[in-house]
Structure 1
Amino acid sequence: MADPIPFNSPYMTGKELFHIAEAKFQNRLAGDGNFTKRCHQWLQEQTGSSKALLTHSCTAALEMAALLLELQPGDEVILPSFTFVSTANAFVLRGAVPVFVDIREDTLNLDESLVEDAITTRTRAIVPVHYAGVACEMYRIMEIAARYGLKVVEDAAQGVMASYKGQALGAIGDYGAFSFHETKNVICGEGGALLVNSPTNTLQAEIIREKGTDRSRFFRGEVDKYTWQEVGSSFLPGEITAAFLWAQLQEAHWITQERLAIWHRYHCGLERLEASGAIRRPVVPVDCQHNAHMYYVLLSPELNRQAVLESLKRQEVQAVFHYVPLHDSPAGRRFGRVQGGLEVTSQQSARLIRLPLWVGITAEQQARVIDALEQAVR
């Protein structure tokens, strides 16, 4: 019997443990040491953001963004229902109401044509989620936000090294959130980053990240002592995490190219199956430069997804579904409201299967996955 093909296998460059040892030799294991500074500089140069701040997760970055928006109870934030719970939770924690808007049929991203109808006098922000590292229609979303005086927080958890019309995801809106979770392209186990895209918001972001203190200014020699300035929390990761991440960022361009090659092998190999009507392959608009974060297929409506997944499992292929739409969850019904019918969200989320994709998967293993999927949908 052939070896199982896992859905994910975290990639290591080979430099991670060396950098971790270096952090120990420097006697700096708490956050904001040399490796954190290197990561901040790399992210700023790569994205063009005014300020990048490492966090212990993308969830933490979103929570920082919610604090920076100074939301009040009852304020509304527009976002898709087809997303991870953290996208909504970050704002619910501040007393805000997530307003769920339907997604596009092609990219599964927030449908920009429906955003304006969801805006009320309580709306404060729009949160586009770049699904699978494929950009939302950001220029249209930014135009709507500017017209109504709203902020834009990009959930770019899956968007590291991806762009929209040449501009890095996460660096287009007012704030952007990255994830470096082990399932992402560039990883450190658990980790994230907040991109602050206006210099006027940098100091407040630093204060919130450092437990509400001006500790960062103290270490730069700008104040003679640091004190409690405003509401904040401990959002920064330790230096061991940053050291691991630095090894990954140094290879981020190569990692992205490897993943794109794997993605394209799937895309070519599944062309015939799409032509048969059994599946639909991902759609990437011409203005979106994606990062091959995932390869998913949408099953034909008459196929039973659970049966397909069970068939793949019997063939030693670990494929998985994705989000249960938030508006269908107990918390989503309790804390949020729905704008429109969300028919596309319900239909597409029920048809989606993600295939194994990780640096190191071989062409032979991908051929096995494709053959297994062909068998499963017969």
Structure 2
Amino acid sequence: MSSEKQLREEILERVARLYALRTQNQAFVPGKSKVHYAGRVFDEKEMQAMVDSVLDFWLTLGRRGNRFVSDFLAMTGMKYGLVVNSGSSANLVAVSALCSPNIPRPMVPGDEVITTALAFPTTLNPILQNGLVPVFVDVEEDTYNIDASKLEQALSERTRAVMFAHTLGNPAQMDVIMEFARKYDLYVIEDTCDALDSFYKGKRCGTFGDLSTYSFYAAHHITMGEGGALLTNSPQIYRQALSIRDWGRACYCQTGEENPNGACGHRFDQHFEGLPDGYDHKYVYSNIGYNLKPLDIQCAMGVEQLKKLPEFTKKRKEHFDRLYDGLRKHEAYFVLPRALEGAEPSWFSMPLTVRDGGAFSRKDIVTHLENRGIETRMLFAGNVLRQPAYRHIRHRVSGGLVNTEKVFNGTFFIGVYPGLTDEMLAYVIDTIDQFIAGV
């Protein structure tokens, strides 16, 4: 009779064979095959890791989650981290941790957070959910990032933080932003969901501020299908973030902790105001929290994806450069993206802005591309204040949103992700060339 080890090896070997079977004879047919703007890129290693996790039948977050966090911290050089079920949850936990009454200087309802209206909604939502007031400044026209020259103008006596994304993987002006934050003792939250493996002046994006957040959705730089992470160098902030992710409890024991007296050794001998003497520490709640954990099976995939990140980044840069060089001749029609001096973007995608008063509209070009199998996307919410859900939120606008409006009306993006091929990229360039020739 086969041992469990033998059976596992046979199962995993068959998984590899299944992957090979599924991926053979995949040919790109221009005009018929889809050119996706993003997508998962994996091989048999991810499939085997996830099947191996299923065979363990550990149904919640466990050792593979610990392994992913350890590997992620080693890569980034940050001290503390946790995984969550999405980048959106990472943003919620990050802002909520800075509002926890258990840190020395918590933000409170009515405090202001400087941010941009050019955003994915879940960068903004945690500000609103915590009763804070977003203060919107404009973005730069061609980097699509927060305009750091406008930060001073946006400041008020209620300003407590700056929160922004490195848009589409393009690093924001972090030296200026951090100097501003230090000058006025402000928190900085870097939404790095689209910018994993991007650098600014030799320093990794996500390692400048008090907190950084990441998304591992299927479209992102690496994927767990769904999933996200939060990193910080502050033990105080980390403890509150962990609490908020795990129902708000004060206890930091792992799920399934084997020591009956808890990891701290003091599960039943602590004293808390208003609670009976020796109340079980696992059921003491120090924050208003949630259950935002991912599954271990997702982290099993993440461990393998993280190993591939350097090659993924290399491909993204190559694909961006190929498209940029191919479309440079059309600068009369498009604003091409710009990276700041010293920035090394790991591009999530390539944004293009149709110039005002041109021979065609954004609708014209994206319809042309989509009809020929080339996926496009808007730059997220554009101007989020124009969206139905946000028209009546409490907020302040500082200095106008001229460039944000240009993006709202004229910007779209196309893919550069590692799953694209030279043939696909050539087809994208040729399709845009044909469109321009016809206007």
Q: TM-score, normalised by structure 2?
A: 0.81
1:292 aligned residue (323, 347, 353): 347
Instruction: Tell whether 2:417 aligns with 1:361.
Output: no
Match of 2:278 in 1: none
Match of 2:122 among 86, 90, 94: 86
Report the Cα offset of residue 166 of structure 1.
1.7
For 1:56 and 1:185, the matched residues in 2 are separated by 16
Give the corresponding residue for 1:56.
Answer: 85
Q: Identify the residue that residue 279 of structure 2 maps to in structure 1.
A: none
Equivalent in the alignment of 1:26: 56
Letter in 1 for 2:409: A
Do residues 282 (structure 1) and 337 (structure 2) align?
A: yes
Contact 1:172/1:197, CA 8 A, preserved across alignment: no
Matches of 2:250 and 2:265, distance apart in 1:
8
Offset of 1:249 from its aligned partner?
A: 0.8
Q: Secondary structure at the match of 1:270?
A: helix
Distance in 2, Cα, partners of 1:155 & 1:6: 24
Q: Which of 152, 161, 167 is equivalent to 1:116?
A: 152
Q: Which one of the candidate residues 358, 363, 366 is aligned to 1:306?
A: 363
Superposed counterparts of 1:115-264, under 5 Å:
115-217=151-253, 219=257, 221-225=263-267, 226-231=282-287, 232-264=289-321
**Structure 2: gaps (5+ residues):** 1-29, 100-106, 268-281
Q: How far 1:334 sits from its partner (Å)? A: 1.6
For residues 293 and 175 of structure 2, the distance between their equivalents in structure 1, rounded to whole angstroms, comes to: 31
CA contact (8 A) 2:38 2:220 kept: no
Choose 326-335 or 34-43, whichever is displaced more: 326-335
Alignment partner, residue 32 of structure 2: 3
Bigger mean CA deviation after superposition, 139-148 or 193-202? 193-202
Question: Shift of the alpha carbon at 1:341?
Answer: 1.4
CA distance in structure 1 between the partners assigned to 2:167 and 2:328 by the alignment = 22
Deviation at 1:72, TM superposition (A): 2.1
Q: Which runs of 5+ in 1 are unaligned?
A: none
Q: Spell out, residue by residue over 1:243-289, the C-alpha distance to the aligned partner (whole angstroms, 9 max, x if none).
A: 12112111111111122111111112112222xx1222211123111
SS of the residue corresponding to residue 128 of structure 1 reads strand
Task: Please report the RMSD computed on the Cα atoms of aligned residues, expressed in angstroms.
Answer: 1.7
Look up the equivalent residue of 1:293 and give its one-letter code: F
138, 143, 148: which one aligns with 1:107: 143
Aligned length: 375
Work out whether 1:344 is the aligned partner of 2:438: no
Q: 1:321, 1:314 → 2: CA distance?
A: 16
- Distance in 1 between residues matched to 2:367 and 2:237, nearest whole Å: 49
Q: Contact 2:142–2:336 (CA<8 Å) still a contact in 1? A: no
Q: Measure the CA separation in 2 of the matches of 1:265 and 1:29.
A: 43
Rounded to whole Å, the distance in 2 between the matches of 1:251 and 1:165 is 23
Deviations 1:271-325 (A, max 9, x none): 2222xx1222211123111112111222222231101111222333222222231
Tell whether the 8 Å contact from 1:13 to 1:251 is kept in structure 2 after alignment.
Answer: no
* Residue 269 (structure 1) aligned to one of 326, 337, 342: 326
After superposition, the C-alpha distances for 1:81-107 in whole angstroms (9 at most, x for unaligned) are 001000110111111111111001231
Identity over aligned residues, as a percent? 29
**Matching residue's letter, 1:15:** K
SS at match of 1:334: coil
Question: Helix, strand or coil for the counterpart of 2:179?
Answer: helix
Q: Distance in 2 between matches of 1:370 and 1:357?
A: 12
SS, match of residue 377 in structure 2:
coil
> 1:24: Cα distance to partner?
2.5
- Which letter does structure 2 place at the counterpart of 1:167? K
1:216 is paired with a residue of what secondary structure? coil
Normalising by structure 1, report the TM-score. Answer: 0.94
Say whether the 8 Å CA contact 1:309–1:319 is kept in structure 2.
yes
Q: Contact between 1:47 and 1:169, CA under 8 Å: does it hold in 2?
A: no
| Aligned-partner residue type, residue 288 of structure 1 | A
Q: Does 1:35 align with 2:60?
A: no
